[in-house]
């Protein structure tokens, strides 16, 4: 939409509130709201908002400014305007880009700006003019969550009416149908108690222009779900990922439940990932397709896979950016820890889906990422790794068409794996980040602030006794 079309939309829908949304560096939506008159009352005021923006305190946003340089401005993107489907008061939500009020330049740490630069860099290479992205976002819907961390006390508790551990609970009455561990994929209701809630989620997504291909219960007990959006371009899909999370969380809350995208909230069952499908196109043609290639992929696609695998360890700093991420990335829970590529094989870090031989469907699926990733950073990072693979013709080696968890010890020892911790991922980023700086897509200040912010999280966890340590060591 143009600003003029936004004004007409506001009038047609009798909008009362304008909500301006933007991302902090870790990937959480931030917002503030204003009466609609502030956007529409006077032409000169409208111009000032669309062109000069609205001020905010950048020092109060994670990963942004220091207090002595706190003033920043948001410039609304009219094309992103949507009727907010979750609010009772008629509200239009508009995504914003962040600018420096003195230089008038885009802000280097604005995640949305990084995504835009990645798309521009792709075009500049001549390799392709479009990249398509299809993240498979998994999440849990729980009925209760409690946690606490103080000087003398630490615990968490999550619960779900679906949890296998509740098979003997007095529920007045307990009606059974608790999916067993690793058996939630995917029986019909009543085992799947969240069918209608997920259906409401995808219909709400449609209201904000997000086409959904499928939704279903996932492998884990206790309400693990997946909703798959139809693929789209990088920036568009990153925007949609933010709407996706917003809608999933708010629909869950509406039903007295709570959704989490935390990678590993349950011990002993599958975690939640964000398997990310990606492909490159030029002049309307999928350059990843070759009818003579392995699994119908082109040499360019193999080199792209080579880039993903070569840089996978440092990519994890953006694609699996929390300490909890590495409780998911362990063998045995469909976790793709081995840095190999293969057709069909879900134990490989790079998988080539082979559901169909259509040229339009040929793509690579990078499986290690999870939903704690900021999509505006993770998608560009993966794209830059893949393009580096194409530029340098990185050979990913031979595909591994066997279960990587069942290799003999010698074969297993030869495989590279993703980092075992966030600390290892950040060290890998320190050692391997030049590919991210090409075209100015990522800047050194972004990498430095990201590393500093994530190191603080590592240290915060390192300093605190873990509840399981009491089980192991209290009686020493």
5 is catalytic: no
Interacting residues of 233 by C-beta distance below 8 A, sequence separation 6+: 119, 130, 131, 132, 133
**Exactly one of 4, 57, 71, 357 is catalytic; which is it?**
57
CA distance 327 to 265: 9
**Exactly one of 136, 143, 370, 388 is catalytic; which is it?**
136
183 is catalytic: no
334 is catalytic: no
Cβ–Cβ < 8 Å for 404, 415: yes
**Exactly one of 24, 84, 110, 138 is catalytic; which is it?**
138
Cβ–Cβ < 8 Å for 417, 338: yes
4 is catalytic: no
Q: With residue 315 as reference, give the H or E element that holds it.
A: helix 312-319
138 is catalytic: yes
Which residue reads 């219960």 in tokens? 217
226 is catalytic: yes
In this structure, what token pair is assigned to residue 361? 């469907």
Cβ–Cβ < 8 Å for 445, 352: no
**Exactly one of 303, 367, 388, 433 is catalytic; which is it?**
367
CA distance 179 to 160: 11
User: Per-residue DSSP letters for 409-463?
Assistant: HHHHHH--B--SSHHHHHHHHHHS-HHHHGGGSS-HHHHHHHHHHHHHHHHHHHH
346 is catalytic: yes
Cβ–Cβ < 8 Å for 133, 379: yes
Cβ–Cβ < 8 Å for 229, 213: yes
**Exactly one of 77, 100, 346, 395 is catalytic; which is it?**
346
Interacting residues of 7 by C-beta distance below 8 A, sequence separation 6+: 39, 40, 46
**Exactly one of 24, 192, 218, 388 is catalytic; which is it?**
218
**Exactly one of 109, 275, 303, 328 is catalytic; which is it?**
275
**Exactly one of 164, 228, 269, 365 is catalytic; which is it?**
365
Query: Alpha-carbon Rg of the chain, whole angstroms?
Result: 23
Quick one: which of 315, 308, 273, 274 has its CA closest to 288?
A: 308
With vertex at residue 154, the alpha carbon angle to CA 152 and CA 160, rounded to the nearest 5 degrees, is: 155
Residues designated as active site: 57, 136, 138, 218, 226, 275, 346, 365, 367
């Amino acid at each position: 939409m143009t600003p003029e079309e936004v004004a007409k939309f506001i009038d047609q829908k009798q909008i009362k509130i304008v909500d301006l949304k933007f991302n902090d560096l870790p990937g959480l939506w931030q917002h503030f709201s204003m009466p609609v008159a502030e956007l529409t009352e006077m032409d000169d005021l409208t111009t000032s908002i669309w062109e000069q923006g609205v001020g905010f305190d950048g020092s109060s946003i994670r990963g942004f400014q220091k207090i002595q340089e706190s003033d920043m401005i948001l410039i609304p993107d009219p094309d992103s305007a949507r009727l907010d489907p979750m609010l009772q008061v008629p509200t239009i939500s508009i995504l914003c880009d962040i600018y420096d009020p003195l230089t008038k330049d885009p802000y280097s740490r604005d995640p949305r700006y990084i995504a835009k630069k990645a798309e521009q860099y792709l075009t500049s290479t001549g390799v392709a003019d479009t990249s398509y992205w299809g993240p498979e976002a998994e999440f849990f819907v729980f009925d209760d969550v409690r946690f606490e961390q103080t000087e003398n006390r630490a615990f968490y508790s999550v619960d779900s009416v679906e949890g296998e551990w509740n098979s003997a609970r007095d529920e007045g009455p307990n009606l059974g149908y608790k999916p067993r561990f690793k058996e939630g994929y995917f029986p019909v209701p009543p085992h799947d108690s969240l069918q209608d809630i997920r259906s409401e989620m995808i219909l709400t997504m449609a209201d904000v222009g997000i086409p959904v291909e499928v939704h279903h219960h996932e492998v884990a007990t206790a309400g693990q779900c997946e909703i798959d959006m139809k693929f789209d371009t990088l920036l568009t899909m990153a925007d949609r990922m933010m709407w996706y999370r917003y809608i999933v969380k708010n629909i869950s809350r509406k039903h007295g439940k709570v959704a989490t995208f935390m990678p590993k909230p349950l011990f002993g069952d599958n975690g939640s990932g964000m398997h990310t499908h990606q492909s490159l196109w030029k002049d309307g043609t999928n350059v990843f397709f070759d009818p003579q290639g392995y699994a119908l992929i082109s040499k360019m696609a193999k080199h792209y896979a080579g880039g993903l695998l070569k840089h996978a360890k440092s990519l994890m700093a953006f694609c699996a950016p929390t300490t909890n991420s590495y409780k998911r990335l362990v063998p045995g829970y469909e976790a793709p820890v081995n840095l190999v590529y293969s057709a069909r094989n879900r134990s490989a870090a790079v998988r080539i889906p082979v559901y169909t031989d259509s040229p339009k469907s040929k793509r690579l699926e990078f499986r290690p990422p999870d939903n704690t990733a900021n999509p505006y950073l993770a998608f560009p990072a993966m794209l830059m790794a893949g393009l580096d693979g194409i530029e340098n013709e990185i050979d990913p080696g031979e595909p591994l068409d066997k279960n990587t968890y069942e290799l003999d010890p010698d074969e297993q020892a030869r495989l590279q794996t993703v980092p075992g911790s966030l600390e290892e991922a950040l060290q890998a980023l320190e050692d391997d980040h030049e590919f991210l700086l090409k075209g100015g897509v990522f800047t050194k200040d972004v990498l430095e602030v990201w590393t500093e912010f994530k190191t603080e999280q590592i240290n915060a966890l390192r300093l605190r006794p873990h509840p399981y340590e009491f089980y192991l060591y209290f009686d020493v």
